[in-house]
Amino acid sequence: MAIPDQPTRWQQFLQRLRSQQWRGYVLIGVILYLVLVNQFIRVRPDHVFIALLLLALSLGRGRVKYFIVDWTPWILFWICYDMMRGVADNLRGAINILWPYETEMALFGRFFDGQLPNFFAQNWQIILRGSWVKGLLDASGGLFYTMHFGLPLLLGWVFWHTMDDRKMFYRFVWTITLLNFSALATFILYPAAPPWYVYSYGFAQPEQIAHWGLGAGTLLDVDRMIGLHFFQTLWGGFNPNHFAAIPSLHGAYPIAVAFFTYKKFRRYPGLLAIYPLGVWFSAVYLNQHYIIDLIIGAFYLMIAYLLTDRILLPYVFSRFIDWQPLRKREKEV
């Protein structure tokens, strides 16, 4: 019986290199990320933190590899969204200010004494200023509005890690991915002014205003109440485009979180509905979005879900995604 040839040291080295090839891709990606960030915008500490985190994860084994692969859509979205700071102003044309205002007024003005719902809420805040009611509404509105950033990531982690339901995770993450990138394209092709801009500056284009800044409405009241510059820093330093009102991701994310949570656990639909309703109310109360912005965001979410559920999962991911639970797969390996 012939003895198979033993691989040479060079062949053994190449085999080890191929087995760790994905780490090299991560390293190249991190370098390109920092180069592009430095090219379009200035490098901030959070950019360095993300780069170091990805490098640290690439040194791990087992689920770490799957983490980088599975969570890549969110990582890419964050990079693209962040880089809008450097390209959106150069690519966009005139800001769409009048159409959202007139559409909102035509649809909802009759229910708010001939005013925009946002401006109606602003007038009531002036009446309630200094009262505990306004303090409660400001605090709850700020809480609901900021939960928008963390809850989708938390739910994705529950699907991916806690529940080991990779199929549900992929259905969730790719729905959000299609939503995110279609929203990014719309932000550039159709830059729309939020209601706080109209409330503070009217219908003039930003170039026609000598000095305009962050008119974030009641969010600044929340900052004054808590004694911190949280929202001012968040919107002033980390928001790459102040004219990304349509579609509203604040209108879409909460519905996605409530919908996928119910789809997984099949419990408490009424309780789950409180979250998207609270965010929608907060977006209007805080003067951040028109109601039509929120409705369009929900429409984008519906289309993204249908495309993911009817096309991506059955015709794309089912061919190469192993739906076995991660821990079971690792034990088999």
Helical H runs in the chain? 9-19, 21-40, 45-58, 63-70, 72-91, 98-108, 117-128, 132-157, 166-189, 195-201, 218-226, 230-233, 249-265, 269-285, 291-307, 313-315, 326-332
List, in order, residues 6 or more apart from 300 with CB less than 8 Å away.
179, 182, 183, 186, 247, 252
Task: Specify the 3-state DSSP secondary structure of 184.
Answer: helix
Angstrom CA distances, 280 to 10, 26, 40, 249, 253, stand at 61, 38, 33, 11, 11
Q: What is the pTM of this model?
A: 0.76
pLDDT digits (tens, 9 = 90+) for 40-86: 555 555 566 566 666 666 655 556 667 767 877 887 787 777 666 54
CA distance 328 to 333: 9
pLDDT digits (tens, 9 = 90+) for 234-286: 555 555 578 889 999 999 999 999 999 999 999 999 999 999 999 999 999 99
pLDDT digits (tens, 9 = 90+) for 207-244: 777 555 555 555 555 556 556 555 555 555 555 578 88
